[in-house]
Chains A and B, each alone.
Chain A
Amino acid sequence: MRPAVPATLRLSARTYGWLLRAYPAPFRAEFGGEMALVFSDCCHAAWRSGGPLGVWRLLGRTVLDMLASAPPLWAERLEEAMKGDPVGRGMGLWLADHGLAAGGLALLVLGATAWPLGLPLGWAALGLAFFAWVAETDGIALPRPGRVAIRTCGCGETPLAFTVRRGDRVLFFVREEDPERGDWSDLYTVRDRPNGTDFDPCFELPLGPRSEWSLRGRTPVATLRFEHHERVSYVTRESLERSLVCAAV
Chain B
Amino acid sequence: MTSASAGTTISIGDISNMDGRRAPESLLPLPDAELEILLALVDGEAHGYAMMRAVEQRSGGHTRLGPGTLYAALKRLLAARLIEESGERRDPERDDARRRYYRLSDFGSQVLSAELDRLSALVRHGRRRLRLSPLGGRT
Known interface pairs A23-B68, A65-B69, A241-B18. Does A34 touch B6 (Cβ–Cβ under 8 Å)? Answer: no
Known interface pairs A38-B70, A70-B68. Does A149 touch B3 (Cβ–Cβ under 8 Å)? Answer: yes
Docked-complex contact A35 and B68, CB < 8 angstroms? yes
* Alpha-carbon gap, A30 to B52, bound state (A): 19
Residues of A within 8 A of B68 (CB): 23, 35, 62, 65-66, 68-70
Min C-beta distance of B114 to chain A, whole Å: 13
CB nearest to A36 among chain B residues: B67
* B5 located at the interface, meaning its Cβ lies under 8 Å from any Cβ of chain A in the complex: yes
Known interface pairs A64-B66, A76-B13, A245-B18. Does A237 touch B48 (Cβ–Cβ under 8 Å)? Answer: no
Known interface pairs A23-B68, A34-B71, A245-B18. Does A168 touch B29 (Cβ–Cβ under 8 Å)? Answer: yes
Docked-complex contact A237 and B29, CB < 8 angstroms? no
Docked-complex contact B2 and A72, CB < 8 angstroms? no
Docked-complex contact A27 and B75, CB < 8 angstroms? yes
Min C-beta distance of B40 to chain A, whole Å: 13
Residues of A within 8 A of B26 (CB): 249
CB nearest to B27 among chain A residues: A167
Residues of B within 8 A of A71 (CB): 1
Docked-complex contact A34 and B2, CB < 8 angstroms? no
Residues of A within 8 A of B19 (CB): 245
Residues facing A in B48-67 (CB within 8 A) are 48-49, 52, 64, 66-67
Known interface pairs A35-B68, A61-B64. Does A76 touch B11 (Cβ–Cβ under 8 Å)? Answer: yes
CB nearest to A61 among chain B residues: B66
Q: Chain A binding site: helix, strand, loop or mixed by DSSP? A: helix
Residues facing A in B23-46 (CB within 8 A) are 26, 28-29
* A52 located at the interface, meaning its Cβ lies under 8 Å from any Cβ of chain B in the complex: no
* B112 located at the interface, meaning its Cβ lies under 8 Å from any Cβ of chain A in the complex: no
A216-249 vs B: 1/0 string, CB under 8 Å?
Answer: 0000000000000000000001001100110001
Partner among A68, A149, A165, A166 whose Cβ is within 8 Å of the Cβ of B69: A68
Docked-complex contact B1 and A72, CB < 8 angstroms? yes
Residues facing A in B69-90 (CB within 8 A) are 69-72, 74-75
Residues of A within 8 A of B11 (CB): 76
Docked-complex contact A75 and B5, CB < 8 angstroms? no
Docked-complex contact B9 and A31, CB < 8 angstroms? no
Residues of B within 8 A of A147 (CB): 2
* A39 located at the interface, meaning its Cβ lies under 8 Å from any Cβ of chain B in the complex: yes
Docked-complex contact A66 and B5, CB < 8 angstroms? no
Partner among A23, A38, A150, A237 whose Cβ is within 8 Å of the Cβ of B52: A38
The interface centre, meaning the residue of A38, A72, A165, A249 with most chain B CB atoms within 10 A of its CB, is A38
Docked-complex contact A167 and B28, CB < 8 angstroms? yes
CB nearest to A71 among chain B residues: B1
A-B contact pairs, 23 of them (CB 8 A): A27-B71, A34-B100, A35-B71, A38-B52, A62-B68, A65-B68, A66-B66, A68-B66, A69-B68, A69-B72, A72-B1, A76-B13, A141-B5, A143-B3, A144-B1, A147-B2, A149-B3, A149-B4, A167-B7, A167-B9, A237-B2, A240-B10, A241-B10
| Besides the known contacts A37-B99, A41-B49, A167-B9, 13 further A-B residue pairs in the complex with CB atoms under 8 A apart | A34-B47, A34-B100, A35-B68, A35-B70, A42-B49, A62-B66, A62-B68, A69-B66, A73-B72, A148-B8, A165-B2, A165-B4, A166-B8
Residues of B within 8 A of A (CB): 1-11, 13-15, 18-19, 26, 28-29, 47-49, 52, 64, 66-72, 74-75, 94, 96-97, 99-100
